[in-house]
Amino acid sequence: MFQFGLLFLGIKLGMPAGLASLVIQLQVFFTIGLAVAFMGDRLHRWNVAGAIVALVGIVVLGAYKFASGLSGTLIGFFIIIGAAFAWAVGNVIAKRAQGADTFALVVWSSTVPPLPLAGLSYLFEGGSAGWHAVLGASWTTWICVLFLAWAATLFGYAKWNDLLHRYPTTLISPFALLIPVAGLASGAIFLAERLAPVQVAGVVLVFAGLAINVYGARLWSWLSGRNMRAERAPPRPARR
């Protein structure tokens, strides 16, 4: 409720959607901090290194958007940060719900937001304007609503919570940084939007950070073992 309620409220109060999708990725670091503080998760150097590299990629993408003329209001910015923290709290709660059916958890938790969010809509969107928007929605709008409800929420969050149950939070949460990358890719594929070289560099950094987070320890162990074997190998006899 708080995650999407604050997210859409921040956009309503002047935060561009593109920048909002980047700022809300602060949830990754909120999630890791809460998991380490309250759940005893261990933070490894590869988690830190990967998160920093991916964050640099997000900063590059955000800087490009600012340079392109996008700007947001200060109140909208802080509200989006609140949405990011709410998302992180939800991740930790889902992580602690060990043994729960992740699909059922998403379904039953979805029964809470409708009335409070309807109240916020009435308050911030001009009384009955929200109701008129629902009555006048096009078929494209309803397809988007159904996709968000079934694919993104029920399936997406159920699988996300399932991954949080199976693996360490510090390993899974950085994958949310792929959200703005997926947005850029979707724009390029479906809307024929061209990616600037700076955007491509930001995407590459995000993928590099995720690779370091997941495979950094294995790669370092492999390289260290290879170097040790090379040092221990007997010298080859000189050819005559």
pTM (2 d.p.):
0.71
Q: Are 58 and 43 in contact (CB under 8 A)?
A: no
- Residue 231, pLDDT above cutoff 70: no
Q: Which residue has the tokens 């992180």?
A: 88
**Residue 188 binned pLDDT confidence (cut-offs 50, 70, 90):** confident
60-64, 152-156, 235-239: which has the minimum mean pLDDT? 235-239
Give 95-135 pLDDT, tens digit per residue. Answer: 887 667 777 777 787 787 778 777 777 777 766 776 777 77
Delimit the domains of the chain by residue range. Answer: 2-127+135-232
Distance in angstroms (rounded) separating the CA atoms of residues 33 and 19: 23
**What whole-number distance in Å separates Cα of residue 21 and Cα of residue 129?**
25
Q: How far apart are CA 171 and CA 40, in angstroms?
A: 14
Q: Which of 33, 8, 46, 54 is nearest to 221 (CA)?
A: 46
Place of tokens 């340079």: 67
Reduced 3-state DSSP string for the chain:
CHHHHHHHHHHHCCCCHHHHHHHHHHHHHHHHHHHHHHCCCCCCHHHHHHHHHHHHHHHHHHHHHHHCCCCCCHHHHHHHHHHHHHHHHHHHHHHHCCCCCHHHHHHHHCCCCHHHHHHHHHHHCCCCHHHHHHHCCCHHHHHHHHHHHHHHHHHHHHHHHHHHHHCCHHHHHHHHHHHHHHHHHHHHHHCCCCCCHHHHHHHHHHHHHHHHHHHHHHHHHHHHHHHHHHHHCCCCCCCC
Residue 130 to residue 120: CA distance in whole angstroms: 10
Residues 172, 178, 182, 183: is their CA dihedral positive or negative?
positive
Half-sphere exposure of 32 (CA within 13 A, CB side): 21
- Alpha-carbon distances of 216 from 55, 171, 223, 228, rounded to whole Å: 16, 11, 11, 18
At residue 133, the pLDDT reads: 76
Asked if 43 and 170 touch (Cβ cutoff 8 Å), the reply is yes
- Ranking 95-104, 127-136, 157-166, 222-231 by mean pLDDT, the lowest is 222-231
Q: Please report which confidence band the pLDDT of residue 85 belongs to, taking 50, 70 and 90 as the band edges.
A: very high
Q: Is the pLDDT of residue 86 over 70?
A: yes
Chain segment 20-53, per-residue pLDDT in tens: 777 888 888 888 888 888 887 777 888 788 888 8
pLDDT at 18 over 80: no
